Amino acid sequence: MKIRAKANANIALIKYWGKENEELIIPKNNSISLTLDALYTITEVEFNDNNSDVFYLDDKLQGDMEHEKISKYIDIFRKLSGINKYVNVYSFNNVPTAAGLASSASGYAAMALALNSLFQLNLPKEEVSKLARRGSGSASRSIFGGIVEWEKGFDNDSSKAIKLDDANWDIAMIILVLNGNKKSISSREAMRKTMETSPLYYSHVNHISNDIKAIKEGIANKDLQRIGEIAEHNAMRMHATMLSSNPPIMYFEEKSIKAINKVKELREKGYLAYYTMDAGPNVKILCKKSEVDLIMNELVDEFDNIIISGVGQDAVAEEIR
Ligand code: PMV
């Protein structure tokens, strides 16, 4: 039997940054994201007759560290199912890996959904989101399409994603890929350092329940201006906690600042356009789907690597053999 799963990436509008429990990946705060159809991972899994798991990413056999990580992750499924078999994993990313474009989110979501079928757990999506979370926090949200909330919860069972809205309305995201290289410091490491050393961290976290409440009102009213303003402020507050870490953590590059200024200029011209950034230099622009073409006209002369994305659907898995 071979299972193929596909999961879309997501970009957080209210960011997850910092863990309550490192082992189980229970976050400090709830987060809310938009699932994107242009960025996704396809993962195929099958049992093998070897004495170890085998992991290929984009047709490349991965090194010892990656194998160790993936095997530890598959152990969760072996334990849950009582099936002590090893697995071949073939993952294909159409997301530049580890460039702050959420490849770990789509990656672990596709993997969790595929392993859920292979190990015959057949758990419902909400349960699979908890398993995806164990690989990478943001992956919990990639199980669902539309606009998704990851409820932080307090233990393994209560920390899960739920769908808030299909986002079947006038909303899109434009991604300015400013540097597709691997990031200098992983989000896992950067979160830990921020929590340990930033004097601003807890004041940021304490403000997040207000952001969540306000953005949910915006989502209920399909009010892109409200959603965008809250998302922009939330993202920059998160980056402020990183900048105030010791030593400072900075994902901004010169081109990131240029892109942010461009988004402000777009707003002055009357477009609804808002920026957000994650653990990488790339800038994502939240905008109206109906204005994407006009906004693209404004961007193409200054930025050469641009991805336009609509709203992604739920992750899916099927048996292919
Ligand atoms: O799930 P991780 O460990 O890749 O962390 C994601 C962190 C951010 O992308 C910065 C925020 C988020 O909520 O996705």
53 by DSSP, 3-state: which?
A: coil
**CA pair distance 39, 6, nearest whole angstrom:** 10
pLDDT band for position 101 (50/70/90)?
confident
What's residue 95's pLDDT?
Answer: 74
Summarize pLDDT for 115-142 with one digit per residue, the tens: 999 999 999 999 999 999 999 999 999 9
User: Does the beta carbon of 278 lie inside 6 Å of ligand 1?
Assistant: yes
**CA pair distance 70, 47, nearest whole angstrom:** 14
Chain-wide mean pLDDT for the chain?
A: 96
**pLDDT > 80? residue 183:** no
What's residue 96's pLDDT?
Answer: 65
Q: Which of 216, 218, 211 is nearest to 236 (CA)?
A: 211
* Backbone Cα Rg of the chain: 19
Query: How many angstroms is it from 200 CA to the middle of ligand 1?
Result: 19
- 99, 66 Cβ separation under 8 angstroms: no
Q: Which of 255, 273, 92, 102 is nearest to 176 (CA)?
A: 255
**pLDDT > 90? residue 282:** yes
User: Does the beta carbon of 104 lie inside 6 Å of ligand 1?
Assistant: yes
pTM: 0.97
What's residue 319's pLDDT?
Answer: 97
Q: Quick one: what percent of the chain has pLDDT higher than 70?
A: 97
Query: How many angstroms is it from 134 CA to the middle of ligand 1?
Result: 13
Query: How many angstroms is it from 101 CA to the middle of ligand 1?
Result: 9
Q: Which of 40, 54, 166 is nearest to 113 (CA)?
A: 40
What's residue 149's pLDDT?
Answer: 98
Query: How many angstroms is it from 151 CA to the middle of ligand 1?
Result: 14
- 112, 184 Cβ separation under 8 angstroms: no
User: Does the beta carbon of 15 lie inside 6 Å of ligand 1?
Assistant: yes
Summarize pLDDT for 55-100 with one digit per residue, the tens: 999 999 999 999 999 999 999 999 999 999 999 999 999 876 655 5
Instruction: Determine the atom of ligand 1 nearest the C-alpha atom of 188.
Output: 3
User: Does the beta carbon of 234 lie inside 6 Å of ligand 1?
Assistant: no
pLDDT band for position 296 (50/70/90)?
very high
311 by DSSP, 3-state: which?
A: strand
More confident residue, 184 or 4: 4
Query: How many angstroms is it from 100 CA to the middle of ligand 1?
Result: 8
- 290, 108 Cβ separation under 8 angstroms: no
